[in-house]
Structure 1
Amino acid sequence: MLPLHSFTEFIRQQELFEAGERILLAVSGGKDSVLMTRFFRAAGFQFGIAHCNFGLRGTESVRDEEFVRALASELEVPFYVTHFKTKSFASSKRISTQMAARELRYAWFDQIRQEENYAKIALAQHQDDAIETVLLNLVRGTGIAGLHGIQAKRDFLIRPLLYLNREMVDSLIRSNEIAFVEDSSNSSTVYARNKIRLEVIPRLKEINPGLEYTFMQNIERFAETEILVQQAISSAAAGLIREENGVLKLSIAAVGSLHPARLLLGGALKTYNFSETVVSDLLNSLSGQSGKSFYSDTHRITIDRDDLLLLPLDQNVIQPVSVHPDDSLISLPGQKIGIRQSEDIRFERNQQIAYIDAAKLIYPLVIRQWEEGDRFMPLGMRQFKKISDFFIDQKVPLPLKSQIPVLLNGNGEVIWIAGMRQDNRYKVTSSTKKVVIFEQKIK
Structure 2
Amino acid sequence: MNEIIDKIYRYIEQNNMLTDCERVVVGLSGGADSVCLLMVLKGYIERKHLQTELCAVHVNHGIRQEAGDDEEFARALCERMGVEFMAYHIDAAGLAKQLGMSVEEAGRKERYRIFNEACKECNARIAVAHHMNDQAETVLMNLSRGTSLKGIGGIRPVRDNIIRPLLSVTRAEVEEVLKGFNQPYVIDATNLCNDYTRNSLRNVVIPYMTDNINSHTVENIASAASELQQDFDFIESEADKAYNKYVTEGDNVVIKLDGEEFAGLHEVIRRRVIYRAVYYLTKTAKDIYKIHVNAVDALVGKTVGSSADICYGLCAVREYDDIVVSSERVSRQDKNEPLEEYVLSDDDIEKLKAGQKVTIQENIYYNNNETLQMKSVQIVLSLHSNYEKNRNYANSRYAKAFDYDKISGKPCIRKRMAGDRIVINREGNQRKLKNEFIDRKVPENMRDNVLLVCDDAGVLWAVGVRRSERALIDDNTQNVLEVTIQKREY
TM-score (norm 2): 0.57
Mapped partners of 2:190, 2:123: distance in 1: 31
SS at match of 1:249: strand
Mapped partners of 1:60, 1:266: distance in 2: 49
Mapped partners of 2:237, 2:134: distance in 1: 28
- How big is the shift at 1:260? 1.3
- How big is the shift at 1:290? 4.8
Question: What's the Cα RMSD here?
Answer: 2.8
Partner of 1:47: 54
State whether residues 236 and 264 of structure 1, in contact with CA within 8 Å, keep that contact through their aligned partners in structure 2.
no
Aligned residues: percent identity?
26
- How big is the shift at 1:156? 0.7
Q: Which runs of 5+ in 2 are unaligned?
A: 47-51, 329-490
Which residue identity lines up with residue 271 of structure 2 in the other structure? L
Aligned residue pair count: 309
Cα distance, 1:149–1:247 mapped onto 2, change above 3 Å:
closer
Mapped partners of 2:96, 2:303: distance in 1: 40
State whether residues 59 and 90 of structure 2, in contact with CA within 8 Å, keep that contact through their aligned partners in structure 1.
yes
Residues 175-230 of structure 1: CA deviation (Å, up to 9, x unaligned): 32212111111001111111101111011112111123322321222122112211
State whether residues 265 and 279 of structure 1, in contact with CA within 8 Å, keep that contact through their aligned partners in structure 2.
no
SS at match of 2:165: coil
Partner of 2:323: 308
Residues 317-350 of structure 1: CA deviation (Å, up to 9, x unaligned): xxxxxxxxxxxxxxxxxxxxxxxxxxxxxxxxxx
Q: Which runs of 5+ in 1 are unaligned?
A: 314-443
Give runs of aligned pairs for residues 106-125 of structure 1, distance below 5 A: 106-113=112-119, 115=120, 117=122, 119-125=124-130
Which residue identity lines up with residue 28 of structure 2 in the other structure? V
- How big is the shift at 1:8? 2.4
Mapped partners of 1:33, 1:248: distance in 2: 45
Give runs of aligned pairs for residues 6-21 of structure 1, distance below 5 A: 6-18=7-19, 21=22
Partner of 1:154: 159
Partner of 1:34: 35
- How big is the shift at 1:67? 1.6
| Alignment equivalent of 2:271, drawn from 263, 270, 291 | 263
Partner of 2:222: 216
Cα distance, 1:284–1:18 mapped onto 2, change above 3 Å:
closer
Give runs of aligned pairs for residues 55-134 of structure 1, distance below 5 A: 55-57=62-64, 59-113=65-119, 115=120, 117=122, 119-134=124-139
Partner of 2:191: 186
State which drifts further: 176-185 or 273-282: 273-282
Residues 56-96 of structure 1: CA deviation (Å, up to 9, x unaligned): 21x21121122212222223322222222222322333332
State whether residues 59 and 89 of structure 2, in contact with CA within 8 Å, keep that contact through their aligned partners in structure 1.
yes
Mapped partners of 2:2, 2:327: distance in 1: 53
SS at match of 1:242: strand
| Alignment equivalent of 1:278, drawn from 292, 305, 308 | 292
Rg: which structure is higher?
A: 1
State whether residues 54 and 83 of structure 2, in contact with CA within 8 Å, keep that contact through their aligned partners in structure 1.
yes
Cα distance, 1:311–1:12 mapped onto 2, change above 3 Å:
same
- How big is the shift at 1:157? 0.8
State whether residues 296 and 316 of structure 2, in contact with CA within 8 Å, keep that contact through their aligned partners in structure 1.
no
Partner of 2:408: none
State whether residues 290 and 302 of structure 1, in contact with CA within 8 Å, keep that contact through their aligned partners in structure 2.
no
